[in-house]
A and B are shown apart, each in its own frame.
Chain A
């Protein structure tokens, strides 16, 4: 992307956008964890990273010293980052903003969407089932969450490609380029303003109208700015996260035939398998900003620095998860933190679990045997969300 010095000292000079980290971060995290529960880099205008489950937990629960107003570690730090409540909210504003979003995302509410998600998956598979293989990231996993969120928000599925472009601009290109990020945020806001204006004339029964009709704790309707911020959040947080989680699960099944065979033979293992994929390949690393001097795991932290709050690294901590680097699809005790910890627990976790389960089930029903295409390359995304952006697969057993 941009010119930057290659990393020669991971412990004191880490870079989570380095190609080696993007390709395979796990050995790097092991090295960092052996060195310290909290490491620091001068890159990204100063950034810490907790490497253990305990240190991640400590920061997650400490909303006094760590703010969520910036949730992405970037090379630029805009004066007023565009809010996306409640993910960018701190107490006391956080709780009322989150409560507005919780009811449509309970397990029961999400279960009602399941038939539509099964249909989406099968429509996608129909398009490539007759071929010898496909790029599962671009032909399958990418489309499932975006089509699902379009269905929930009551916006056209045909707009999916625009949303995917915005998210790429915000979460990946935006790490280094503020202008690209702000332009994408502006376009997204303009898009939703149109939908809000439309619903003021003609109310609907989708999630946009639900937000527009919501009342805050003083009984007042939300401002258009609040509705817009929450819509931006749902789009940004709901798409490439789940896309990545489904993709990583398919990558695992493509590269671990014994697990694939076992899941086909014992479909009752699906719930533990999904939790284990979430643990082992957690896609989301959030960020915090240090607001006041404090210490984490005995290490002092200074205000003004960012924190790479790596839930994925916590989930590989061997002191909490025995054989943390081994994927065990029947792992029974699995209190992983793929969806975060504390007040910012991902509001869409129940939706993501359902989409992931359905996407893997429907795929396995129709494509029982598949493997990586050795003539092509798997490409993983960079930055906040990790998942395969290119996942070339061949169907059937090797001849």
Chain B
């Protein structure tokens, strides 16, 4: 995970709504970065910008999604 750590990067996280099936692993692992709707499906909080302190959690959420529904853009 620390391979991805680079404080100068801005990461944006996004949940692909066509892929998300509501496993809710992202919400469990990175509660600040994701929200669940009334049906338990996930979407990113705000505009998806990942604060530097939460970069590890963002990658952890991505690597634990069984549906591969989490996209991380490295700007």
Closest to B1 in A: A332
Known contacts A103-B39, A343-B21; decide if A336 and B66 are in contact (CB<8 Å): yes
Q: Once bound together, how far apart are the Cα atoms of A105 and B39, in whole Å? A: 8
Residue pair B63, A335 in contact (C-beta under 8 Å) = yes
Cα distance, A11 to B66, chains bound together (Å): 28
- A100-127 CB mask vs B (1 if < 8 Å, else 0) is 0011011110000000000000000000
Residues 117-149 of A contacting B (Cβ, < 8 Å):
none
A256 at the interface (CB under 8 A from B): no
Q: Is A333 interfacial (CB 8 A cutoff)?
A: yes
B66 to chain A, nearest CB (A): 5
Contact A107 B67 (CB under 8 A): no
A339 to B22, CA, bound (A): 11
Verify if A193 is at the interface (C-beta below 8 Å from B). no
- Residues of A contacting B25 in the complex (Cβ-Cβ under 8 angstroms): 335
A271 at interface by CB-CB < 8 Å: yes
| Identity of the chain B residue whose Cβ is nearest the Cβ of A99 in the assembled complex | B39
How many chain B residues sit at the interface, stated as a range, is: 10 to 19
A103-B38, A107-B36 are known contacts. Are A339 and B28 too (CB-CB below 8 A)? no
Instruction: Please determine whether A335 and B66 come into contact, CB atoms closer than 8 angstroms.
Output: yes
- Number of A-B residue pairs, CB cutoff 8 Å, is 53
* Contact A334–B64 (Cβ < 8 Å): yes
Whether the pair B27, A333 counts as a contact (CB closer than 8 A) is no
CA distance A349 to B36 in the complex (A): 14
Q: Are B65 and A335 in contact (CB under 8 A)?
A: yes
Chain B contact residues, majority secondary structure: loop
Interface flags for B17-31 (1: CB within 8 Å of A; 0: not) read 000011111011000
Cα(A275)–Cα(B23), bound, Å: 12
Known: A99-B39, A105-B40, A106-B39. A271 touches B28 (CB 8 A): yes
Instruction: Report A14-32 residues with CB < 8 Å from chain B CB.
Output: none
- B59-73 vs A, Cβ < 8 Å mask (1 yes, 0 no): 010011111100000
Say how far B62's CB is from chain A's closest CB, in angstroms.
9
Q: Which residues of B contact A342 (CB under 8 A)?
A: 21, 67
On whether the beta carbons of B38 and A345 are closer than 8 Å, the reply is no
Q: Which B residues are in CB contact (< 8 Å) with A364?
A: none
User: Across the interface, which residues of A come within 8 angstroms of B1, CB to CB?
Assistant: 332
Among B22, B39, B60, chain A packs the most CB atoms within 10 A around the CB of B22
User: Which one of B40, B63, B68 lies within 8 Å of A350 (CB-CB)?
Assistant: B40
Chain A residue numbers with a CB within 8 Å of B60 are: 332-333
A341 on interface, CB distance cutoff 8 Å: yes
Residues of A within 8 A of B28 (CB): 107, 271
- Give the docked Cα–Cα distance between A345 and B63 (Å): 18
| B65 cross-chain contacts in A, Cβ below 8 A | 335
By a CB distance below 8 angstroms, the chain B residues around A108 are 36
B27: chain A residues within 8 A (beta carbon): 107
Name the CB-closest residue of B to A105. B40
- CB <8 Å contact, B23 and A345: yes
Cβ of A122 to closest chain B Cβ, rounded Å = 25
The reply on A59 being an interface residue by CB < 8 A is: no
A12–B53 CA distance with the chains assembled, in angstroms: 52
Determine if B38 and A350 form an interchain contact, defined as CB atoms under 8 angstroms apart: no
- Asked if A337 CB lies within 8 Å of chain B CBs, one says yes
Task: Say whether, besides A102-B39, A106-B38, A106-B40, A345 and B21 are in contact (CB < 8 Å).
Answer: yes
Give 11 A-B contacts (CB < 8 Å), ordered by A residue: A103-B38, A106-B24, A106-B38, A106-B39, A107-B27, A332-B60, A341-B66, A342-B67, A343-B21, A345-B67, A349-B24
